[in-house]
Structure 1
Amino acid sequence: MKKISFLLLVTICLSKIIVAQQPDDALRFGWFTPNGTARNIAIGGAMASLGGDISTNHINPAGLGLFKTREFVFSPGINLNNNKINFLDSQSKETRNAFAYGTSGVIFGMPSRYKGAIVSTAFSISLTQLATYNNHTHYKGYNNYSSYSEKYLEELVRDGANDYAAASNYIFGSSLAYRTYLVDTVNTNGQLTGFKSLVPIASGVAQERDEDTKGGLHEVSLSFASNVQDRLYLGISLNVPIMYYTRDLSFSETDISGNTNNNFSFFNYKEHYETSGAGVNAKLGLIYKSSNSFRLGFAFHTPSIMVLTDKIRSEMTTNTEAYAGERKVTSDELNSGNAGEVSYQVTTPYRAIGSISFVLNPVEETKKQRGFITADLEYVNYRGVRYSVSSDNSGDQSGIDYYKALNDVIKDYYKGNINVRVGGELKFDPWAIRLGGAYYGSPYADKTLKANRIMASGGIGYRNRGFFIDLTLSETLNKDVNFPYRLNDKANVFAETKNNRANILATIGFKF
């Protein structure tokens, strides 16, 4: 059995409508592989010193400065997910396919009317999908070490809950467990002295988890760049990240001992959770042609400041046989038919990118160039995610204390890391062939959590008389871990996940 100790977030007793974020949620804001046009993905996303592609709006806006004409771009695609999961030495597989898209938008390149240092300027509006959350995972295994129900015991004991609090203050978790008798009181001489779980952990239970997620992190960009003497390119973009994420989760434990008199048959917990909201960030960059062949690029992405709203509904069904029979309770019953809802602010990690490119046959007329080789190094401070109360709840001290504790855990749980992207292109006018790759290291501070993302890509392109079409296939192997639940008083079991995501993307564009 694989286990790992985890510093559990120590929280105060929250209001019954609070939806608690977890450290895992922080990765949704920063750990994602390259996206963009088909051309950008084909070269591994290594676009920070190249320019001449609308993807630069979201990578290094200085690259927009290479445009001197107007261009429209559209990038439809599809993602094909294949998941392999190992949980407690049990293997499982799941697939999920979904529509995707790359960077799309319009560019207005304008040569300068006047003689001077500024040769041209460019403005662009674009939309891209930074991350997709469309996926389905399912795993199960035999566990005689711990139970999902123990996290409810820890919460009730930690808060010193009485009967009323146990039944009413944790309507999306512990109160459901208490009301269905998954957990019950321990009484001595008529006085409540603690809580117990009815799950027969020592004899073992069959655990099963199913998660279906949808949505994505999108970004609208308004970008501007200038071309200084065809040597130095400066750019800035103002961006609006938009998030929509839903998760339908089911977790169950079933007695497989065959004993019908041990006061436990099964329990099943179901949850519908969604997050939505938007924010703002900026990207700054420059590209410098040190010679006709060599280009150097640098970009800095400020943290995004986002205001998000979480909503949650949950239910639990428990069968304790002769103890209390089968009972079902929903959070709607305990919350006047309403979903739990909370709004909060998130500050995402910053990014810093350095890049170098070598252009083959570096003539000014692009179609006569013979190709290029390019590489990006990107630093992302994953441990820099910060949660805080929204401005509407600035006086909520319990929320302030909770997010402070959560941020402390994130700082311990994650680390900054360097991502590498490389790629190249060979041109045989009007055709082009491209190859690329990317490596994203683990965001976890604990080395025993084996996680990385590796992407390999290739594509072809056709450009003639102001029209172009590019087609790319990329394969991304995502290696990660998934905790079905976390406990404070013992090591935590987790699943090892391998997600193989194929992305087929086309980009169609024309000058106008």
Structure 2
Amino acid sequence: MKRHILSSIFILAAVTSHAQQDLNTAADAVRYSTSNLTGTARFRAMSGAFGAVGGDLSAMMVNPAGSAVFNFNSGTASLSSYNVSNSSNYFGTTTKKNDNALDLNQVGAVFVFNNTNENALMRKFTLGFNYENTNNFHNSVYTRGTNTNNSIDKYFLRYANGIGNEGGITLGTLRSANYTDLNYMDQQAALGYETYIFNPATGNDNNTVYTSNVPNTRNYYHENYVSTTGYNGKVALNFGAQLKERLYVGINLNVHFTDYIQTSTITERTNNPLATGMQSIRFDNERYTYGGGFSFNLGAIYKITNELRAGISYESPTWMRLQDEITQRVASRCPECETGTSVNTFVYNPGTTFIFDPYTIKTPSKWTASAAYVFGRNALLSVDYTIKDYSNTEYKSSRYSAINTELSNTLDVASEVRVGLEYRIKKFSLRGGYRYEQSPYKNGTTVGDLNGASAGLGYAFMGSRLDLGYSWYERKMDTPLLTAGFTDTARVKSTYNNITLSYTIDL
């Protein structure tokens, strides 16, 4: 009899490096190449259109020259409430799921050093630092519906039978090998074999051909629940300077870090109790990704007139060094699968958390051109235009050559437009903004275009300021239930509603 229930004690083990090629996908690389609009309440209320404005801690994350616009030492801390509503459509069935999170998403300060020599080239310089949560991963997606085409058995058969010249795993290996000695691809085959999702074509140990135990009813009910937590964080160390009257320059050295946990459960029922063979499958996965990286920013702002400003900035690629841990478990119900016994439920829980070899992802660089017009002391209008070539996203290892080719062929150059407006009435400020971001994919559907709007207000008092910002944006994407073999996706529309409160003190 096959092993039904194994110990749930976690055992740390290493696997061969080529196994990671199938664990990581193109979508994993895109996750670390994109970022959301975060930062201070003032910055978010104006949809991040600050490249030529400066004078805000989050503005220097777009254009590091923005720190040199400050006239006084200043510090800001921000607290954000995140709400995301996901509407998932899978074969005509729509489900919704809401999620909320609260986070201290920004804290930073800038220190201004003025030059008393009015004829000096450098009128002042600034030193600053700023931490921002550039991407909050707190999210939940629930999908359900009846798939009239495919069973999730295709995921396990893909690994058991192999593809092209890859070759399938031998039956002798599945029978005798210790799970912890298998690479990732062979482990996926073992999960299916131990729970009778498929059977070998022959009983010979050299067999590499397998057939499904799932009845061909073309009527498979699926439920998929995916929960993610974690964040991408970024710390910027800034130097800025004002040169003569009109030119501001700056540089950031950025340290990145990420902490991402994804827990998923997919279940399948054949919806045909009269059919023989597999009746239900449950597949649990938990993946933990963590690591850090480095990038830098360069920027300049020029006052063409006292009212009109122009800015240009560059953000280098980010080199992220990451590591994965994964835990998996499969359960199935198949009354006819083990003859001669009354057992009809099979659970395969290796009780093992695997730690994979570290790897590096290089995200694309970014250029931002900006313009702002200041209407005296009462109002300003600002526009930012950003361009980013996502096809330059890549894994820095030859073992990912196939995925890098996919990234190059499917991703595209994407632009982003941000518009912000601020109007002051004595101690109060009213703000609004608009944001549009193109899809990073050539097909425009794997991840769709982003549309967003924002609003907010501020109140200044006794050398301090309280700001409240609200931002809304929406994006559609295709979300796969599994990553290989089983290619059907759910169409998910995500709607974000975020509220940020910031406190700023000038010294």
Calculate the TM-score normalised by the size of structure 1: 0.89
Matched with 1:157 is 161
Q: Which residue of 2 aligns with 1:5?
A: none
Say yes or no: does 1:348 pair with 2:356. no
Of 257, 277, 281, which aligns to 2:295? 281
Q: For residue 491 of structure 2, what is the amino acid of its counterpart? A: E
| Mapping for residues 164-179 of structure 1, pairs under 5 Å | 164-166=172-174, 168=179, 169=182, 170=185, 172-179=187-194
Distance 1:483 1:246 in 2: 17
Q: 2:407 aligns with which of 407, 410, 434?
A: 410
Cα offset, 1:344, TM superposition:
0.7
**In the alignment, residue 373 of structure 1 is paired with which amino acid?**
L
**2:127 aligned with 1:123, yes or no?**
yes
2:4 match: none
1:47-446 equivalences in 2 (<5 Å):
47-115=50-118, 116-158=120-162, 159-166=167-174, 168=179, 169=182, 170=185, 172-187=187-202, 192=207, 194-259=209-274, 261-324=275-338, 325-332=344-351, 337-361=352-376, 369-389=377-397, 400-401=398-399, 403-446=400-443
Provide closer, same or farther for how the CA distance between residues 162 and 172 of structure 1 changes in structure 2, counting only shifts above 3 A.
closer
**2:10 is matched with which residue?**
none
Amino acid at match of 2:62: I
Measured against aligned partners, the alpha-carbon deviations of 1:357-393 in whole angstroms (never above 9, x if no partner) come to 11101xxxxxxx111011111112222221124xxxx
Q: CA deviation at 1:211?
A: 0.3
Contact 2:440 2:447 in 1 (8 A): no
Q: In the TM superposition, what is the alpha-carbon distance from 1:265 to its structure 2 partner?
A: 1.2
| Contact 1:68-1:110 at 8 Å conserved across structures | no
Q: CA deviation at 1:457?
A: 0.5
Q: Give secondary structure in 2 for the equivalent of 1:425.
A: strand
Aligned to 1:457: 454
Q: Distance in 2 between matches of 1:193 and 1:234?
A: 63
Quote the Cα distance in structure 1 between the aligned partners of 2:493 and 2:51: 29
Residue 33 of structure 1 contacts residue 440 of structure 1 at CA under 8 Å; is this kept in 2? Answer: no
Compute the displacement of 1:16 (Å): 5.9
Q: Provide the rounded CA distance (Å) in 2 between the counterparts of 1:315 and 1:370.
A: 61
The answer to whether the Cα contact below 8 Å between 1:254 and 1:265 also exists between their aligned partners in 2 is yes
Is the counterpart of residue 496 in structure 1 residue 504 in structure 2? no
Residue 18 of structure 1 and its aligned partner are, at CA, apart by: 7.4
Give the total of aligned pairs.
Answer: 475
Give how far 1:462 is off: 1.1
Equivalent in the alignment of 2:6:
none
> Does the 8 Å CA contact 1:144/1:201 hold for their aligned counterparts?
no
Name the SS of the counterpart of 1:176 in structure 2.
Answer: helix
Judge conservation of contact 1:78–1:101 (CA < 8 Å) in 2: no
Query: Match of 2:349, as an amino acid?
Result: T
Structure 2 distance, partners of 1:205, 1:196, is 18
Task: Assess, with a 3 A threshold, how the Cα gap between structure 1 residues 339 and 227 changes in structure 2: closer, same or farther.
Answer: same
Deviation at 1:404, TM superposition (A): 1.4
Does the Cα contact within 8 Å between 1:386 and 1:407 map onto a contact in 2? yes
1:277-323 Cα distance to aligned partner (Å, 9 max, x none) = 11110011001111111111111100111111110000101112121
Give % identity.
23
Q: Partners in 1 of 2:174 and 2:393 — Cα distance?
A: 32
Cα 1:52/1:41, change in 2 over 3 Å: same
8 Å CA contact 1:74, 1:103 repeated in 2: yes
What is the distance in 2 between the residues matched to 1:295 and 1:288?
6
Cα distance between partner residues in 1 of 2:430 and 2:254: 31
* Secondary structure of 1:103's aligned partner: strand
Name the aligned partner's letter for residue 386 of structure 2.
E
Letter in 2 for 1:161: I
Does the 8 Å CA contact 1:439/1:453 hold for their aligned counterparts? yes
Deviates more, 1:27-36 or 1:114-123: 27-36
Q: CA deviation at 1:52?
A: 0.4
Give yes or no for contact 2:452–2:471 (8 Å, CA) kept in 1. yes
Q: Residues 283 and 431 (structure 1 numbering): CA distance in 2 closer, same or farther, change over 3 Å?
A: same
Aligned to 1:26: 29
1:318, 1:327 within 8 Å by CA — same for their partners in 2? yes
Amino acid at match of 1:137: V
Classify 1:309/1:48 alpha carbon distance in 2 versus 1 (closer, same or farther; 3 Å): same
1:128 Cα deviation from its structure 2 partner? 0.3
Deviation at 1:486, TM superposition (A): 4.9
Q: Could you give the per-residue CA deviations for residues 316-363 of structure 1, whole angstroms, max 9, x where no partner exists?
A: 01112121322111233xxxx4424231111111111011111101xx
Asked if 1:507 corresponds to 2:502, the answer is yes
CA distance 1:166–1:373, shift in 2 (3 Å): farther
Structure 1, unaligned runs of 5 or more: 1-12, 362-368, 390-399
- 2:5 corresponds to which residue? none
SS of residue paired to 1:31: coil
**Secondary structure at the residue paired with 2:193?**
helix
1:34 is paired with a residue whose SS is coil
The separation in 1 between residues aligned to 2:484 and 2:110, in whole angstroms, is 52
Which SS does the other structure have where 1:349 is aligned? coil
1:291 and 1:192, CA in 2 relative to 1: closer, same or farther beyond 3 A? same
TM-score (norm 2): 0.89
Q: 1:235 to 1:407 in 2, by over 3 A?
A: same
